[in-house]
Amino acid sequence: MQLKRLGHVAICVQDISKAVQFYQNLGMELAWQDTDWAYLKAGADGLALLSPEYEQAGNHFGFVFSDRSELDQHHTHLTELGIPSGKIHDHRDGTASFYGKDLDGNTFEFLYEPQTSAQQKL
């Protein structure tokens, strides 16, 4: 199994709406926004904005998969290697993911992100 790409970075912000506006002004496109988090895209790469109320994760980086079975396979593989990984969660935006920690305590996420019909045509 080989990772295909580093898909996003997640940062904590104080005000989701203001941060979304700031990053849109930098040229990013809003893909998802809720009261406690938002997700912006720059091409295929993403930036997740997490409010202080967001309890699922803090700052992290994420690897993206377009096939759900790859996410499941990586979860099984990391578990077999003894790498601490949480359970797979289905998210309200249609994605699914799990979080883990590297040797220095940095958080990573493995994320299944379904392709839209426009992305599939590229």
Per the rule left: phi > 0, alpha: psi between -120 and 50, beta: everything else, 108 is: beta
CATH number of the CATH domain containing 33: 3.10.180.10
Q: Give me the helices (H) in the chain, please.
A: 16-25, 68-81, 117-121
Question: Is 1 a domain residue?
Answer: no
Question: Is 68 a domain residue?
Answer: yes
Question: Is 17 a domain residue?
Answer: yes
Question: Is 59 a domain residue?
Answer: yes
pLDDT tens by residue, 44-94:
899 999 999 998 889 999 999 888 999 999 999 999 999 989 999 999 888
Residues 6+ apart with CB under 8 A from 117: none
Q: How many domains does the chain have?
A: 1
Question: Is 113 a domain residue?
Answer: yes
Q: Tokens standing for 119?
A: 């992305």
The residue range of the domain holding 102 is 6-121
Question: Is 67 a domain residue?
Answer: yes
pTM of this structure: 0.79
Question: Is 56 a domain residue?
Answer: yes
**1 pLDDT tier (thresholds 50, 70, 90):** low
First to last CA, the chain: 24
